[in-house]
Structure 1
Amino acid sequence: MSELDSLVSVRLPGQVLQTLEHFEKAFGALLVLTVPSTEYGEPERLVIYESTAGLSESDSMGSETPIPFLGDKIQLQVRAARAAPAEAVCAALAPTLASLFELEREIESFTNEVSQRYEEITLLYSISETLGATLELEKAAEYILDAVRDVMRAKRAALWVQSAGVVDLNLAAQVGDAGRSGLLSPDDPDSLTSRVFRNNESEI
């Protein structure tokens, strides 16, 4: 789901709705918000907000402008306004809505970040509990890998180790989808695992 979809799907952000309603009451404005259609057979633009049901394409449009947010994909139409020129209402409302959409995106990003950090903290706590329990090393490794895979939303997780005096990496544990097994050369140029081992740096 794109950023635009996440912000306008199902229901517009509360502050955006409140601002639209405030402008409607303050200026007697008829407002419409549209976004580009993504489905075949649908109109070129879809209405995501409309002041009054029943406005048709034949109704006169007082003013129209893109909202400067996410590549100007959201279009604002001021069909009419009683207390001020439609152009003035449009000029005042568009940047206000852009700021509110941007604020909502930042809040959503922060919420996702906090959620991710919480998952990581829970993972670390789970790992410490597992290591402190009386378990076989292989079972502990599989449990930890499964927890990591769940947090990372990965299809497969594997633990490769290099034993003393042995050059190749050996698959010690794995969970999830089937994958490479057996020995793995740390110099393999086509292997992501080998490259991570050589560089001693994670890759995402």
Structure 2
Amino acid sequence: MSDHHAGDGSERPTTVPASDSPSLRRRRLQATVDEEFAAFYRATIHRLTGFLMHHGAALPLAADIAQDTMIKAYRRWGQIQQPKAWVHTVASRALVRAAAEVREEPREQPEPSSLLPAPDAFAQWELRHDTVQLLKTLPYRQRQIMAWTLSDYSPSEIAVQLRLTPEAVRASLKKARRALAHHAPDEGGST
């Protein structure tokens, strides 16, 4: 995938005064890039993790892939024109690769982090959000398209990122919504 996309409103680093020495200009430019990336990271990391969980990843795996994706984004920051779409695409592909690998399940609880503050955080979150459980009932492609949709992407944007036709995306989205409506708990409150 090319790193060059149509803009998504992200600001690029500003220029530094030409009167500064080359090393001072580099440091100022790097500081600007670091500030820009830090703002993007803070605004995106939790939603990216949720996006991966909507694909069916467990929270520890989703957090690892989201962090790895952000490291890759930082390293290529000057080349990425549409960062939000780029990280979603890279993370989605990393999840597909991870699903294809044979992995041993860890025996120890993971270390707490900002994305995984407690070992049972996902279980607690799952109890409050049945969306993840509902999405697990869908076939992979429908779950994938719903994850992109829940991350505020239009069918046309999803088609570009997944290299599908918009019609194929809309058809999968329609099937997914129909299946989710069938599996969703009765909103009428019948007890």
TM-score normalised to structure 2 length: 0.25
Higher RCO (CA 8 Å, separation ≥ 6 residues): 2
TM-score by length of 1: 0.23
Structure showing greater Rg: 1
More strand by share: 1
